[in-house]
Amino acid sequence: MAGTVGAIFNSALQLGSAVGIAVITSIQTSIDDDGSHTASPRLPTTKAEWTFAHRGRTAAYWFVFAVVVLETLAVLGFFRSHAIPSDKQREEEHGRERKGKVSDGSRTQDIEV
């Protein structure tokens, strides 16, 4: 069972990385593509030019930030701490499992296994 869970986890990790990189690259390219396809554009010199030159990376950053916020909200919403039994609950359950019932037809008797 642990091997299956590990395989699913690694597959999800690899697929998520590949899809994430593709989506981020697509966002950057679609925003940065201004129609001019020069071999070597001149370097930006003013703050406005730098802001314009990095707008695709800024959009990709905010996309990743939004995904992380959604993941955090999902963990806070779906994580159930009460699903993990305490040590006392585990001991009580273990004691109930060890205690069995023996029946000889006329009466039922509790025995320790």
Please give the pLDDT value at position 109.
57
Cα angle 98, 101, 105 (rounded to 5 degrees) comes to 165
Please give the pLDDT value at position 36.
61
C-alpha span between 28 and 22 (Å, rounded): 10
C-alpha span between 5 and 2 (Å, rounded): 5
Domain ranges of the chain: 2-33+51-99
For 12-56, give the DSSP string: HHHHHHHHHHHHHHHHHHHHH--S---SSPPPP-SHHHHHHHTHH
User: What tens-digit pLDDT sequence spans the chain (113 residues)?
Assistant: 889 999 999 999 999 999 999 999 999 888 887 666 666 667 778 888 877 878 889 999 999 999 999 999 999 998 877 767 778 888 888 777 777 554 555 555 555 55
Please give the pLDDT value at position 87.
83
